[in-house]
Amino acid sequence: MGSDKSSAWKERAASLRAPSRDMGQPHWMDVDGIRTRYFEAGTGEPVVLFHGGNAGSWLDVTDCLCWDMTLPPLSTQVNCVAVDRLGQGFTDNPKTDGDYTMHASVQHAASFLRKLGKGPYHLVGHSRGGYLVCRLALEYPELAKTCVIISSGTLSPGPLRNPIWLGKPPRPVKTRESMRWVLQRYSYSPRIVTEAWLDECVAVAESEREQIVTRKMVEGLDKSLYAPELRRQRLETQRWILERGLPCPTLVVWGVNDRTADFENGKILVEMLMRKQPKTEVRLFNQAGHFVYREQAEGFNGMLLDYVRSNS
């Protein structure tokens, strides 16, 4: 009996090590007129992964291929989905200048989830995606079975540290070497910045879609619309957390060596969440920076799978 149990645990552990980082072939969905790229594999409980960043960042690009150490192993146990957010990766840009906001990104994500038709979901969001899944749970509680917030300086109170730590990248920006520098600055260990990940970043950065959205943001939409609207909604979201709380079990995950999202602010976020949501948990990973799910992939994958199963 003990031997059978040991074998089962060894098999499970092996499946979570992601010997292959192949995300499979992309799927495409029309979401309110926005052609949206996503990857999906596996069966069972629906887990949806939302990456961070924002459309038209002057510094770097972020898309759902950052989950290539998460989706393949998790999909051996659950139905796992990773999606390019509005105006990021290979998902279309916003249809109007007025949609260059985090609010529009949240609404696009909600429409994607409704059209996917598998809710309620285990929502997992990294960094600015952590803000997004929190906002989804607050605005559309019927979509959220659980909410997993990873290293979200955007959602936490306190100043954002990216301008300090990432303020002097190699020029020109959005080249392979400049983005390598950015990703390594985010990380505790540079080994997680793989050539395959950089290949994807370069492909996105060189796309016509990315050049259009970046030009729009740099030439004015960032300062006139995106940033002030995010500041307003950030404060609103924090107030809602204190007044109403999240409607579902919530897990906050952080790397203690994250130099861009300080866990001192993360602790305040955890305390805020605990006030109204008694099923709030926190997991800290040592020797992990901002991309904790890559630097501690096996531990993160096992933790997330256990969390999903215990809340299913």
Instruction: Name the CATH superfamily, with its identifier, for domain 33-310.
Output: Alpha/Beta hydrolase fold, catalytic domain (3.40.50.1820)
Q: What is the pLDDT of residues 115-154, one digit of tens each?
A: 999 999 999 999 999 999 999 999 999 999 999 999 999 9
pLDDT of residue 19: 45
Residue 64 pLDDT greater than 50, yes or no: yes
pLDDT of residue 7: 58
| Mean residue pLDDT across the chain | 94
The DSSP result for the chain, as a single string, is -HHHHHHHHHHHHHHTT-S-----S-EEEEETTEEEEEEEE--SSEEEEE----TT-SS----GGGGTTTHHHHTTTSEEEEEPPTTSTTSPPPSSGGG-SHHHHHHHHHHHHHHHT--SEEEEEETHHHHHHHHHHHH-GGGEEEEEEES-TTTSSS---HHHHSSS--SSTTSHHHHHHHHHHH-S-GGGS-HHHHHHHHHHHTSHHHHHHHHHIIIIIIIIIIHHHHHHHHHHHHHHHHHT--SS-EEEEEETT-SSS-HHHHHHHHHHHHHH-SSEEEEEESS--S-HHHHTHHHHHHHHHHHHHHT-
Average pLDDT over residues 51-59: 97
Q: What is the pLDDT of residues 79-115, one digit of tens each?
A: 999 999 999 999 999 999 999 999 999 999 999 999 9
pLDDT of residue 8: 55
Tell me the pLDDT band of 18, cut-offs 50, 70 and 90. very low
